[in-house]
Amino acid sequence: MQLLGITILIGFLAGLVARWTTPGRGVGGFLLTIMVGIAGALTAAFLGQLMRWYEPGQSAGFVGSLAGAVILLAGYHLMARDR
C-alpha cells in the first residue's frame, strides 16, 4: 500500500513536469495533469516489471514515471487535436 502511495506521488510530480515540458497548449486542466502523471507512473512501473527492468513491487522511479507521463500526455494531445 505504501508503494502505491509513493507511485501516485511520483506520478503527480511527473505529470506536472510532463505538462510543463510538453509543447502545445494544454486542453485539460490540473486534474487531467494529475491523472496523466499517475497513469504514466503506474504504466511505467507495470511495463518495467513486465520487461524485468524492476523487481516485482518496485516503483518505476521519477525518470520512468516522467517518460510514461510524457508519452501519455503526447498521445492525449494527438487525440484531442483531431477533434
The Cα 17–Cα 33 span in angstroms is 9
Question: What was the pLDDT predicted at 83?
Answer: 61
User: 81 pLDDT exceeds 60?
Assistant: yes
Residue 15 Cα distances to 25, 43, 52, 79, angstroms: 15, 13, 24, 18
Residue entry with cell 486542466: 29
pLDDT tens column, 43-55: 887 888 888 887 7
Per-residue pLDDT of 14-64, as tens digits, reads 777 777 776 666 556 667 777 877 888 788 878 888 888 877 777 667 788
